[in-house]
């Protein structure tokens, strides 16, 4: 049994569907044909029995038959067409017309002769080997006699045999037609699957993610086609973003690397030629090298943060105190801008977030405020019911540049000379969104920029 099943599973899907349809139709046709044959046979037998019961033999013919058997009269052979008529005596003696085949006498026939049963109906095989259906009834008169009337069962068997062949022929045609129809339906129904297969093979062969499958209807195949189109669109977008990230990263890395190479070549040329660089110029050169190395390290760190395998998914979320994280970020910001005045008003607020990522995001926001604040300027930090506001008094951001501030590697033309990679706010936006919050940058009244972070939470930590 395992072998045939394995061979069936090895067939193409459309062949299996056609085979399944043909098998189902064959079983249904066979069941209907068998039921039809048995019902027809029962109906024909009932009608033959009714015909035998309703057949009457002329009394004069019976008298002639009796006299013929006694040797005192003559009788015409087979006066009843298609019937066999014979008289049965008390001892099982038989009297029948000439050229008629003798019917065996059964116990039921003798019971009718002896008036023990009103009639008898049974099947026997005559002397010629023909199966006959026999009806025996008593003959009126003083003599104990019964008359047996028989019809050949071929009257039923022949039509039944013809019916069986007709049913077999019609059933075979139906099964073949069902198989052909099943194959056609399978081909029609699986055509979208073939298109999907060709599209997948094309993508695997050419890496062309612009392939789209036409979607028709609302069935499972249409859903599958839509899913494939969505998948290829997402993959194409992801590949474009990856290519853009690599291009932008190469562009951003080129600037500090070029500056480093230039400064190092100057130092190397000085050593090779023996011409000493003035001490002040050498110190400025080394400071530039250190600044470029610091910028390069920060850029690489930001790229690693964006390229982490789990960057698209947040780490394990914990209930953390946003006010404590903001206070820790403020300590780091004061170290980076000691000449600035940073005020804080932090009300307790607890959120679910990844602590390290959230602190890094707040530090990035504060770093931007420190970077763009004028000397001896002021930065106001307020946390009230999950709304963290960082307001600086710098030059602000032009309105036409606000839609781009959270894009990767985007930097305002006025800030391109300042250190930075253009990735900080992009990382901040991703972290805040993963924590279920929002972030926005807007011009502040009186000048400067106001960064607002909203995070869902509560003023009290949840019970453990």
- pLDDT score of 222: 76
- pLDDT score of 350: 93
- Tell me the C-alpha distance between 366 and 394, whole Å: 13
The segments of the chain whose pLDDT lies below 50 read 1, 309-312, 416-417, 420
- pLDDT score of 113: 87
Burial 105-136 (b: 16+ CB within 10 A, else e): bbebbbbbbeeebeebeeebebeeeeebbbbb
- Tell me the C-alpha distance between 280 and 286, whole Å: 10
- pLDDT score of 388: 94
Q: Classify domain 318-458 at the CATH topology level.
A: Heat Shock Protein 90 (3.30.565)
Task: Supply the DSSP symbol for 217.
Answer: S
DSSP string, 75-107: --S--STT-EEEEE-TTS-EEE-TT-PPPPPPH
- pLDDT score of 313: 53
Q: Under CATH, to which class is 1-188 assigned?
A: alpha beta
Domain residue extents for the chain: 1-188, 220-307, 318-458
- pLDDT score of 238: 76
Express each pLDDT in 305-364 by its tens digit.
666 644 445 557 889 999 999 999 898 888 777 888 999 999 999 999 888 888 888 888
- pLDDT score of 253: 67
This prediction has a pTM of 0.45
- pLDDT score of 381: 93
Same fold, 1-188 and 318-458: no
Query: Domain 220-307, what architecture?
Result: Orthogonal Bundle (1.10)
- pLDDT score of 344: 92
């Amino acid at each position: 049994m395992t072998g045939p099943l394995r061979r069936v599973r090895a067939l193409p899907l459309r062949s299996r569907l056609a085979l399944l349809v043909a098998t189902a139709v064959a079983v249904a046709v066979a069941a209907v044909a068998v039921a039809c044959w048995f019902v027809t046979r029962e109906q024909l037998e009932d009608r033959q029995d009714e015909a035998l019961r309703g057949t009457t033999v002329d009394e004069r013919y019976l008298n002639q038959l009796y006299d013929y058997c006694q040797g005192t009269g003559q009788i015409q052979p087979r006066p009843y067409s298609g019937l066999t008529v014979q008289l049965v005596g008390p001892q099982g003696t038989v009297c029948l017309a000439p050229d008629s085949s003798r019917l065996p006498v059964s116990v039921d026939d003798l019971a009718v002769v002896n008036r023990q049963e009103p009639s008898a109906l049974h099947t026997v095989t005559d002397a010629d080997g023909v199966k006959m259906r026999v009806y025996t009834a008593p003959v009126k008169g003083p003599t104990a006699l019964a008359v047996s009337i028989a019809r050949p069962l071929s009257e039923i068997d022949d039509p039944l045999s013809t019916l069986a062949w007709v049913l077999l022929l019609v059933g075979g045609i139906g099964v073949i037609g069902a198989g052909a129809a099943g194959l056609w339906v399978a081909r029609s129904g699986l055509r979208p699957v073939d298109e999907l297969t060709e599209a997948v093979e094309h993508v695997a062969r050419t890496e062309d993610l612009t392939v789209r499958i036409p979607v028709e209807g609302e069935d499972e195949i249409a859903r599958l086609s839509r899913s494939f189109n969505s998948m290829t669109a997402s993959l194409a977008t992801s590949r474009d973003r990856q290519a853009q990230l690599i291009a932008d990263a190469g562009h951003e890395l080129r600037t500090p690397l070029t500056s480093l190479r230039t400064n190092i070549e100057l130092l190397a040329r000085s050593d090779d030629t023996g011409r000493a660089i003035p001490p002040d110029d050498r110190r400025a050169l080394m400071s530039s090298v250190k600044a470029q190395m610091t910028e390069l390290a920060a850029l690489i760190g930001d790229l690693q943060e964006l390229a982490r395998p789990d960057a698209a998914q947040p780490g394990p979320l914990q209930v953390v105190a946003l006010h404590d994280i903001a206070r820790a970020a403020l300590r780091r910001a004061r170290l980076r801008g000691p000449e600035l005045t940073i005020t804080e008003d932090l009300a307790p607020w607890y959120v679910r977030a990844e602590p390290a990522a959230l602190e890094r995001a707040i530090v990035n926001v504060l770093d931007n405020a420190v970077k763009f604040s004028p000397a001896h300027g002021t930065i106001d930090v307020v946390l009230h019911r999950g709304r963290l506001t960082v307001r600086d008094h710098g030059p602000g951001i032009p309105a036409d540049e606000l839609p781009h501030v959270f894009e990767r590697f985007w930097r305002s033309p006025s800030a391109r000379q300042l250190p930075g990679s253009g990735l900080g706010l992009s990382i901040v936006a991703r972290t805040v969104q993963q924590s279920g919050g929002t972030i926005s940058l807007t011009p502040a009244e009186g000048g400067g920029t106001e960064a607002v972070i909203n995070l869902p939470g509560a003023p009290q930590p949840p019970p453990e």
